[in-house]
Amino acid sequence: ETHLSTPKSHKIKVKHSNLTPSLVKRNNVPLKPTTPLQEAKSRLHVSAVPKSLPCREEEFNNIFTFLRGKLEDKNGGCIYISGVPGTGKTATVNEVIRCLQKLIIKGQLDDFNYVAINGMKLTEPRQAYVQILKQLDGKTATWEQSYHILEKRFHSTTSKMTLLLIDELDFLCTKRQDVVYNLLDWPTKSTAQLVVITIANTMDLPERVLMGRVTSRLGLTRLTFQPYNYKQLQEIVMSRLKDFYGFRNEAIQLVARKVSAVSGDARRALDICRRAVEIAESQSAETISLQDVTEAVSEMIASAKVQAIKHCSKMEQIFLQAMSAEVTRTSIEEVYFKDAYKQLESLCSFDGIEVPSVTEILAICGRLGANRLLICEHSKNDIYQKILLNVSTDDIHYAIKELNLN
């Protein structure tokens, strides 16, 4: 075979999937985790998804029986799965698909095509057609061509079932909603033999965003993933650690309770645990104590606004104080720059500091606006620009009072 190497021929090969996209290979082998802490860290990484997900058995069974039933009966259908981010929606579906594919190998189920698309990985909703066709046939075409091919395909009888997973459904919704309509309309054709699994975050997306005819096609087979409570988060972390006992029990419990109070996001819990291991590692400790976890939690959940105020220059702090004084005086959140400047003048003369010029204070205001300690209007309004405090007045008092004590 002759090898043509002009860029154009290369591009055509990429289009027809004759060339697999690849990444440059590394020169040496990566280091293996050697210490138990490193081992634990690699297992705590979010990407290390376990074979079976703990605390999602019920949801797994629901999806599994639904899909298996559809596949065995060879008729199409839809299911809508919702839940806040990090509750294991995509991971559970992937696990179900894996189990179904195992059944095929065992010969207990007929073969099926599996196509997965993600709304966020598309540049625009219509690219969904291109992606689906690419995963079915390996060809790349424009979206119009892809749409026609798919339309034809689903209107003629095929022997194979197709499973279509649509992640981040809300990003496929446009004003006309033609893409979502088509994707959900195909399963209703008896010839298509298509099962569509849709995943999104909001529970009431079908009612709130989708049109009536789309909602009706989506059907009422729905499943909601509840945020993890602290017991479940604890179990997830424990199952990841398996035979590593360096983590104190109450340390895991603290992470679980903190995260479940905020979001119930499993990713967050795992990230905090991993950071705690890193902190313990940097202190060359063998086990992770409660202190390490507290440090990791405060690093990853707390906001740094008080810290930022503490590290501002003296005049920036006085300006913030002047802002809060002006807010208290007028009891209006929005402050004109010139009024804040007046307050600053009196604060400066009170402390016996030379009053800086308006230009200097405007620069300070701009700097604080860049940090988002303040929210400023466009600076073309000069001394009439409106400023909003983006920190609470209590934070300012707390941060500056502590400074004066030192």
Q: For residues 127-186, which are near another protein according to CB under 8 A?
A: 127, 130-131, 134, 140, 168, 171
Q: Does residue 404 bind another protein (CB under 8 A)?
A: no
> Phi and psi of 268, rounded to 5°?
-65, -45
Q: Does residue 30 bind another protein (CB under 8 A)?
A: yes
How many Å apart are CA 234 and CA 269, to the nearest integer?
9
Q: For residues 308-327, which are near another protein according to CB under 8 A?
A: 308, 310-315
How big is the site for another protein, counted in residues (CB under 8 A)? 87
Q: Does residue 402 bind another protein (CB under 8 A)?
A: no
The tokens describing 268, both together, are 């967050």
CB-based burial, 118-151: b 16+ in 10 Å, e otherwise: bbeebeebbbbbbbbbbebeeebbebeebbebbe
Return the range that interacts with another protein (CB under 8 A); candidates 4-12, 99-107, 149-157, 245-253. 4-12
Q: Which of 116, 186, 356, 376 binds another protein (CB under 8 A)?
A: 356
DSSP secondary structure, 140-176, as one string:
---HHHHHHHHHHHHHS--SSEEEEEEESGGGG--SS
Q: Tell the smallest beta-carbon distance from residue 255 to another protein (Å).
A: 13
* Cα torsion angle, 265, 270, 275, 276, sign: positive
Q: For residues 39-78, which are near another protein according to CB under 8 A?
A: 41-42, 45-49
CB nearer another protein, residue 193 or residue 198: 198
Query: Mask of contacts with another protein, 362-401, x by CB under 8 A?
Result: -xx--x--xxxx------xxxxx-----x-----------
Asked if 181 and 78 count as a contact pair (C-beta separation under 8 A), the reply is: no
Q: Tell the smallest beta-carbon distance from residue 25 to another protein (Å).
A: 5
CB nearer another protein, residue 204 or residue 212: 204
* DSSP secondary structure code for residue 18 in this structure: S
Q: Does residue 121 bind another protein (CB under 8 A)?
A: yes
